[in-house]
Amino acid sequence: MPTPPSFAHAARVAIAAGLVALLSATHTQAASCGSSAGGFGAWLAGFKKQAATAGISQRAIAQGLDGVSYDPRVIHFDRNQKSFKLSFEQFYARRVGSVLVGRARARMKTHRATLDRMERQFGVPAEVVIAIWGLETNFGADTSGKFAIIRSLATLAYDCRRSPFFTGQLMDALRIVQHGDMTPAAMRGGWAGEIGQTQFLPTPYVKYAVDFDGDGRADLVHSVPDVLASTANFLKGHGWQSGQPWHAGTKNYQVLKDWNRAEVYQRTISVMASKLAGH
């Protein structure tokens, strides 16, 4: 039976409205990330509103994000992470040598009191934390600060490849600014937004960074006690079992995967720490 004219008109209106809603949703989804600099400004304006809704102050938003631009260099580095494609033998030989091990042992002597206090409080052996410190930045020597961390994170949050992950990291970078631990100008580090001497991303910084030198703030750039204790606190927070081994097949070995998900890196931390422990 033919549809009555009034019903047909209503149906057409409903269909048209549905198409408009679909196109609007598609546009919103498309605007939530991008693959070139073209849409970055509009995305950033939207993120600022999202940050305000999440409880970030307008002052912290302005301090962190005003004038921030897209950085194509960050995308280039993100697409070319070749070192993690090496075999363990190749990776270990490239990253660990007698010089690094010697420096590690020297740091263990220099910071023995801090490391002993760290072990008592967090249950993580000095050798594991020292290995991470050496592998990440050569004990702070390689924190060149070539990249503005908030700009890097904003670029990666906008980029479609890992947008949800880096959106969270960018939000926590603003929380660090809001809390007063670091200014945006001081937040310089690796291309992926890594902060300080053991390369914390902002979210673990917010969750696990501790003030271990008693100056009232967690400083993972300049304070060795804060760096060491925060690294141990991260491992403890991910289930590190005090007094237990960390070789492959153990629960502590799995915790190392939470530090870095690349198998070659996880294994390198374990082997270097065992070497320092004399195993």
Average pLDDT in the 132-160 region?
93
Q: What pLDDT, on the 0 to 100 scale, is given for residue 84?
A: 65
**pTM for the full model?**
0.83
pLDDT for the residue 170: 98
Tell me how long the chain is. Answer: 279
pLDDT digits (tens, 9 = 90+) for 17-67: 444 444 343 334 335 899 899 999 999 999 999 999 999 999 999 999 999
Whether the pLDDT of residue 112 is over 60: the answer is: yes
User: What proportion of the chain, given as a percentage, has pLDDT over 90?
Assistant: 78
pLDDT tens, residue by residue, 209-229: 999 999 998 999 999 999 999
pLDDT given for residue 86 in this prediction: 83
Digit-coded pLDDT (tens) for 172-219: 999 999 999 899 999 999 899 999 999 999 999 999 999 999 999 899
List Cβ neighbours of 8 (8 Å cut-off, separation of 6 or more).
none
Q: Is the pLDDT of residue 82 over 80?
A: no
Is residue 80 very low, low, confident or very high in pLDDT (cuts 50, 70, 90)? confident
Q: 121 near 229, Cβ under 8 Å?
A: yes
pLDDT of residue 85: 74
The pLDDT score that the predictor gives to residue 143 is: 72
Q: Decide if 261 contacts 267 (C-beta within 8 A).
A: no
CB 137 within 8 A of CB 220: no
pLDDT given for residue 208 in this prediction:
98
Q: With 90 as the cut, is the pLDDT of residue 8 above it?
A: no
Structure tokens at 198: 């053991």
Give 145's pLDDT tier (boundaries 50, 70, 90): confident
Between 40-53 and 163-179, two packed helices, what is the crossing angle to 10 degrees? 60
